[in-house]
Chains A and B, each alone.
Chain A
């Protein structure tokens, strides 16, 4: 069963509305007809059910007394079976179309949410915690699905049952009908009031559950402390307090339930008995037939009992509404376009980069980059040095347009960066980070991750070889098909980095950014990685962020950053000739070497 086509053709963002009902209505675009069918089928099903009671009436009033009862009875039985069959068919039909609507909408939202999240800006993701987004995409979505599949249709069902059966009683005897619904508003009201409270009690219960979990979790993760101080009894008492509170709140919640159901039972019974009595007297004084009485007795319960659930459904619906709001907050956030741009490039970049008086800030009050001027010829390398927070990483983040500069101009191959589509830029720029993120897929998939086409095994292996990780991969039981992460092997920092390098090699970018790419690697692998990096840099414009003079000294240009400004620039030999931070770094690094040597020498003179 494929999902209906209209699932994908509607842009969920169009359903944004301040008015909740309109929002839900718009969201149902393409599914409204289905939902309508579901509701109509539901009504027909209820109608068949009611008709079968009326058939019983006909049987008793007209068939039984007639002399032809032997001939007619089988027909009545058949009619009964047919009505039941129709009722079942319609009810199944309603279920099918409800499922189609609810699951279809869930699919539409799930897809839209997934895609939307990956197209939100970096700034958005910087602020929004993962857990928060995740809960909106999963539990809120499920609440909306339940809204359509259970609650909305459930309320519809109750109202339909009520009106159809009420009309049926009305046809039997208008006077009786009026006297049969006295209790209905009372039951509905009691139910609504109770479920408001029950929902609150449930919330309290959930709050306590969260508290209990925290206590438990802290106990488990702090097991070393608990044991080291022999505080088991203390911990037991602490847990006992929360556990007992949980029990008390649970009891309160249940007492409410145990009060609600018998209370409404009594109201319902009173109404039913009154109805029976009144109808029975009508039969006895000849106003009502016996068959009508029997039909009435069946119809009456169909009116009253469902009303008890109305309150619960309405309260549940409100949670669907809250979830809808939370989800729409995310959907309503602007995406960043991957294709928008005045300049639509036809070929790969050359790699000429020019910064003119560029400034950038994340928040208006905290500027990160000031007045950056910089020219890099295609294929050249630039090294960036500076303390944490001096703006190096922010600067390279501007090139793939992760963030847009707030003043000045950046030109790539002579074209203003803001005119270039983000998607194109990100294809042309490769980044190797200090702690690369790998996905829980196979190593092969991770390496081929950024290439939008089918990749041959040879290409993947060539990239892995160039990144000096091929041999390591072969030691894993499943080779290139080994899963990375929780379910598979855990790679060391250096191994991860080389897989990420292979990934970048295969991507074959025109501009390369190495963000502290060698600092977390132990000395043995450092050399192999450095070799691989040098290979990768050949013929590409490269930005290197690094701390050691050794790493940066061969760059065509070295920039020293301090507090968002470039304070020094030049080649290694130029910078060595002028006073400033660069020379100080150099001096300090050689001073460390000196001190180490001296310390070694001192060992000889240590006192015994």
Chain B
């Protein structure tokens, strides 16, 4: 529970961390030509914009006032030619920055996805899927925006101010100094507003997600709300929250609405000063009318970026916060990797040995203690015992999803960390309690077991696993879509498919976590048939819930409190009248109750949420 708190979203960091900023910039390094391209484009755009204003001055001073048609036409022609050039530059910076943004996002997503594929179970067990999803989807987008549009905005702002000043200084340096004095004042005001607005918007955001949460709960719990007649009280509570939201949202909008006029008034003051002072200079001949016009234009020109300051700054802050989370994911190391010099072998056939294996997820809570076990090639082992006793851990260790903290696991006489991960994993067949399918067709899902399998082989595997018949009843047979995560199929059907998938893989080691939810009798029989095939061919470890499976095993291990408390065949263990006896009798009674259900209609119960094995739940690992 408390471990989830580190995954809370902090949308803004209080400070912009420069080292993170440098690292974000690293994302565009391979594309530095694109960056140079849009920077140059936007720089030229800024120069041209300043120059257009200057041309406007020339039209007035050299054309109109001087009554020189030729100069007028010449200036306009230059203006026209440059405007075509300007349009080309606009195209270039939007294209370069925009497409680069898409490219950077693509790169970042690819990079993080590839990295995710290498991470170990320990990472997924403690990290919520939703958290990872946001890193891959929204954080990459914010970072890409920062290195493209963000950089573009900043460059443009800086260029605008610099070029406007340069042109003003050329036209009349004394007046330019007057404007220069205004700039610090403007920045001060802009920063003050920026902070105010940011604070308000953060609060609005926070309240907004709170309101969504309240809505969500009231909709999911609507039946209880109605049954308990809570409508009025809920409404009153919600009114308070919504009113609070109104107040903050209104304030945020009000500050934003004030910001622009404040900046405008300040600029008007400087324009006033220019008219006053510049007007006097016109008389003395130090200033032209076109010059005054140009000055007014340059001032507005410098203001655009200032008006944008709050937005750009807040986006930058968000992007940096995003990047920090993103990099934390990218920096997490896989704790299970190939040892240097690990060998790659074709087969994992052979005996499996646990030698004094110790394992824990948290040091203060050992899960396996001095665990010893030898399993002969081809043997079928049933693992039974209470939840949290260490069954799943044992299986996870065999799969090398985790490695022993001390002691060793040997396959075919050799410490299994001497083999590459790939050679172990490719020889496994795993069927989970809640089978996981991918969206796509049934055929694609089956082929997941062996990518080079032919259609005939796929069909054969499905027949062996008892899945063929139900597949043929589907309209499109093997080409039927299974839906997102297989939602269009029932649990029993998903289990059959995942069994067939494992059969196709022809594994040397077969691992199965039997479903606890009941399926109809026919499907149950088919599942048993599929398991039989796999158990015959491979060394098998079954986390068993059904008596038929338990009875069929060569050996039964009762695992509790981090070790094997009882081991032997069914009859041996029964005679001991120990834990196994109790577990067995309890299961025996339960199965009889289902079997003798006087109301049984053949329907199967829906799977309850607690049956589902959700990666990322801390408890799942401890099972």
Chain A residues near B (Cβ < 8 Å): 1-3, 52, 56, 59-60, 63-64, 69-70, 73-74, 76-78, 80-81, 83-85, 87-89, 91-92, 94-96, 98-100, 102-104, 106-107, 110-111, 114-115, 117-120, 122, 125, 130, 133-134, 137-138, 149, 209, 212-214, 216-232, 234-236, 239-240, 243-244, 246-247, 250-251, 254-255, 257-259, 261-263, 265-266, 269-270, 273, 276-277, 280-281, 283-284, 290, 293-294, 297, 338, 386-390, 400, 402, 423, 426-427, 429, 431, 436-437, 439-440, 449-450, 452, 486, 488-490, 503, 507, 562, 581, 584-585, 588, 591-592, 595-596, 599-600, 603-604, 606-608
12 A-B pairs with CB atoms under 8 Å apart are A3-B243, A77-B273, A84-B265, A98-B257, A119-B231, A218-B436, A218-B485, A221-B129, A229-B430, A439-B224, A450-B229, A584-B598
Among candidates A88, A94, A98, A600, residue contacting B265 with C-beta atoms closer than 8 Å: A88
B589 in contact with A592 (CB, 8 Å)? yes
Q: Mark B57-96, 1 if CB is under 8 A from A, else 0.
A: 0011001110101001100100110011011101100110
Measured CB to CB, the nearest residue on chain B to A336 is B226
Among candidates B59, B103, B599, residue contacting A280 with C-beta atoms closer than 8 Å: B59
B221 in contact with A437 (CB, 8 Å)? yes
Taking the nearest CB of chain A, how far is it from the CB of B425, in angstroms?
4
Is B114 an interface position by the 8 A CB rule?
Answer: yes
Instruction: Compute how far the CA of A264 lies from the CA of B197 in the bound complex, rounded to whole angstroms.
Output: 33
Among candidates B98, B249, B570, B615, residue contacting A106 with C-beta atoms closer than 8 Å: B249
Q: Mark B556-594, 1 if CB is under 8 A from A, else 0.
A: 000000000000001110110100010001001100110
Among candidates A92, A103, A257, A262, residue contacting B98 with C-beta atoms closer than 8 Å: A257
Measured CB to CB, the nearest residue on chain B to A53 is B296
Instruction: Compute how far the CA of A173 lies from the CA of B132 in the bound complex, rounded to whole angstroms.
Output: 63
Measured CB to CB, the nearest residue on chain B to A250 is B102
Is B250 an interface position by the 8 A CB rule?
Answer: yes
Among candidates B64, B243, B245, residue contacting A290 with C-beta atoms closer than 8 Å: B64
B268 in contact with A76 (CB, 8 Å)? no
* Segment of B115-123, B153-161, B169-177, B372-380 in the binding face: B115-123
Which 7 pairs from chain A and chain B are nearest by CB?
A95-B257, A84-B268, A387-B599, A88-B261, A254-B98, A99-B253, A250-B102
Which residues of B have CB within 8 Å of A103?
246, 249-250, 253
Chain B residues near A (Cβ < 8 Å): 1, 4, 56, 59-60, 63-65, 67, 69, 72-73, 76, 79-80, 83-84, 86-88, 90-91, 94-95, 98-99, 101-103, 105-106, 109-110, 113-114, 116-118, 121, 124, 129, 132-133, 136-137, 211-235, 238-239, 242-243, 245-247, 249-251, 253-254, 256-258, 260-262, 264-265, 267-269, 271-273, 275-276, 279-280, 282-283, 289, 293, 296, 399, 401, 421-422, 425-426, 428-430, 432, 436, 438-439, 448-449, 451, 484-485, 498, 501, 505, 511, 570-572, 574-575, 577, 581, 585, 588-589, 592-593, 596-601, 603, 605, 613-615
B585 in contact with A107 (CB, 8 Å)? no
Instruction: Compute how far the CA of A488 lies from the CA of B4 in the bound complex, rounded to whole angstroms.
Output: 10
Tell me the total A-B contact number using a CB cutoff of 8 A: 413
Measured CB to CB, the nearest residue on chain A to B275 is A77
A338 in contact with B231 (CB, 8 Å)? yes
Instruction: Compute how far the CA of A235 lies from the CA of B258 in the bound complex, rounded to whole angstroms.
Output: 52
B425 in contact with A283 (CB, 8 Å)? no
Instruction: Compute how far the CA of A218 lies from the CA of B501 in the bound complex, rounded to whole angstroms.
Output: 17
B215 in contact with A134 (CB, 8 Å)? yes
Among candidates B65, B133, B221, B268, residue contacting A213 with C-beta atoms closer than 8 Å: B133
Which residues of A have CB within 8 Å of B118?
232
B117 in contact with A76 (CB, 8 Å)? no
Q: A84-B264, A118-B225 are in contact. List 6 more A-B contacts (CB 8 A).
A: A224-B432, A224-B436, A230-B421, A277-B76, A388-B605, A440-B217
Task: From known contacts A134-B219, A280-B64, infer whether A216 and B133 are also in contact, taking CB-CB under 8 Å.
Answer: yes
Among candidates B257, B261, B269, B272, residue contacting A99 with C-beta atoms closer than 8 Å: B257
Among candidates B73, B76, B137, B589, residue contacting A216 with C-beta atoms closer than 8 Å: B137
Which residues of B have CB within 8 Å of A257?
94, 98
Instruction: Compute how far the CA of A235 lies from the CA of B451 in the bound complex, rounded to whole angstroms.
Output: 12
Taking the nearest CB of chain A, how far is it from the CB of B258, in angstroms?
5
Measured CB to CB, the nearest residue on chain A to B289 is A60
A228 in contact with B425 (CB, 8 Å)? yes
A603 in contact with B581 (CB, 8 Å)? yes
Residue of A119, A223, A427, A604 with most partner-chain B CB within 10 A:
A223
Taking the nearest CB of chain A, how far is it from the CB of B488, in angstroms?
14
Instruction: Compute how far the CA of A449 lies from the CA of B268 in the bound complex, rounded to whole angstroms.
Output: 59
Instruction: Compute how far the CA of A194 lies from the CA of B433 in the bound complex, rounded to whole angstroms.
Output: 52
Which residues of B have CB within 8 Å of A63?
279
Which residues of A have CB within 8 Å of B218?
114, 117-118
Which residues of A have CB within 8 Å of B253?
95-96, 98-99, 102-103, 149
Which residues of B have CB within 8 Å of A281?
69
A110 in contact with B242 (CB, 8 Å)? yes
Measured CB to CB, the nearest residue on chain A to B83 is A269
Taking the nearest CB of chain A, how far is it from the CB of B619, in angstroms?
9
Among candidates A96, A138, A216, A251, residue contacting B99 with C-beta atoms closer than 8 Å: A251
Which residues of A have CB within 8 Å of B214?
114
B238 in contact with A592 (CB, 8 Å)? no
Measured CB to CB, the nearest residue on chain A to B218 is A118
Instruction: Compute how far the CA of A262 lies from the CA of B249 in the bound complex, rounded to whole angstroms.
Output: 36
B245 in contact with A230 (CB, 8 Å)? no
Measured CB to CB, the nearest residue on chain A to B73 is A277
Residue of B242, B429, B485 with most partner-chain A CB within 10 A:
B242
Taking the nearest CB of chain B, how far is it from the CB of A567, in angstroms?
11
Task: From known contacts A84-B264, A91-B257, A387-B599, infer whether A596 and B216 are also in contact, taking CB-CB under 8 Å.
Answer: no
A294 in contact with B129 (CB, 8 Å)? no
Which residues of A have CB within 8 Å of B581?
603
Instruction: Compute how far the CA of A104 lies from the CA of B211 in the bound complex, rounded to whole angstroms.
Output: 16
Which residues of A have CB within 8 Å of B436?
218, 221-222, 224-225
B439 in contact with A214 (CB, 8 Å)? yes
B87 in contact with A269 (CB, 8 Å)? yes
Instruction: Compute how far the CA of A133 lies from the CA of B262 in the bound complex, rounded to whole angstroms.
Output: 42
Which residues of A have CB within 8 Å of B221?
437, 439
Measured CB to CB, the nearest residue on chain B to A145 is B249
Instruction: Compute how far the CA of A294 lies from the CA of B613 in the bound complex, rounded to whole angstroms.
Output: 74
Taking the nearest CB of chain A, how far is it from the CB of B518, in angstroms?
12
A592 in contact with B596 (CB, 8 Å)? yes
Instruction: Compute how far the CA of A230 lies from the CA of B118 in the bound complex, rounded to whole angstroms.
Output: 10
Which residues of A have CB within 8 Å of B401?
224, 227
Which residues of A have CB within 8 Å of B448?
225, 229, 231, 234
Instruction: Compute how far the CA of A235 lies from the CA of B505 in the bound complex, rounded to whole angstroms.
Output: 17
Instruction: Compute how far the CA of A133 lies from the CA of B217 in the bound complex, rounded to whole angstroms.
Output: 12
Which residues of B have CB within 8 Å of A74?
276
B129 in contact with A111 (CB, 8 Å)? no
B133 in contact with A217 (CB, 8 Å)? yes
B98 in contact with A76 (CB, 8 Å)? no
B129 in contact with A489 (CB, 8 Å)? no
Among candidates A87, A265, A277, A427, residue contacting B83 with C-beta atoms closer than 8 Å: A265
A338 in contact with B69 (CB, 8 Å)? no
Which residues of A have CB within 8 Å of B59?
276, 280
B90 in contact with A77 (CB, 8 Å)? no
Task: From known contacts A76-B276, A138-B215, A243-B106, infer whether A603 and B94 are also in contact, taking CB-CB under 8 Å.
Answer: no
Among candidates A89, A118, A225, A440, residue contacting B231 with C-beta atoms closer than 8 Å: A118
Which residues of B have CB within 8 Å of A297?
56, 293
Which residues of B have CB within 8 Å of A52?
268
Instruction: Compute how far the CA of A307 lies from the CA of B260 in the bound complex, rounded to whole angstroms.
Output: 21
Instruction: Compute how far the CA of A217 lies from the CA of B439 in the bound complex, rounded to whole angstroms.
Output: 11
Instruction: Compute how far the CA of A232 lies from the CA of B337 in the bound complex, rounded to whole angstroms.
Output: 14
Taking the nearest CB of chain A, how far is it from the CB of B494, in angstroms?
11
Residue of A216, A219, A227 with most partner-chain B CB within 10 A:
A227
Instruction: Compute how far the CA of A100 lies from the CA of B249 in the bound complex, rounded to whole angstroms.
Output: 10
Among candidates A218, A266, A273, residue contacting B79 with C-beta atoms closer than 8 Å: A273
Instruction: Compute how far the CA of A262 lies from the CA of B265 in the bound complex, rounded to whole angstroms.
Output: 32
Instruction: Compute how far the CA of A251 lies from the CA of B109 in the bound complex, rounded to whole angstroms.
Output: 16
Taking the nearest CB of chain B, how far is it from the CB of A231, in angstroms?
6
Instruction: Compute how far the CA of A596 lies from the CA of B595 in the bound complex, rounded to whole angstroms.
Output: 14
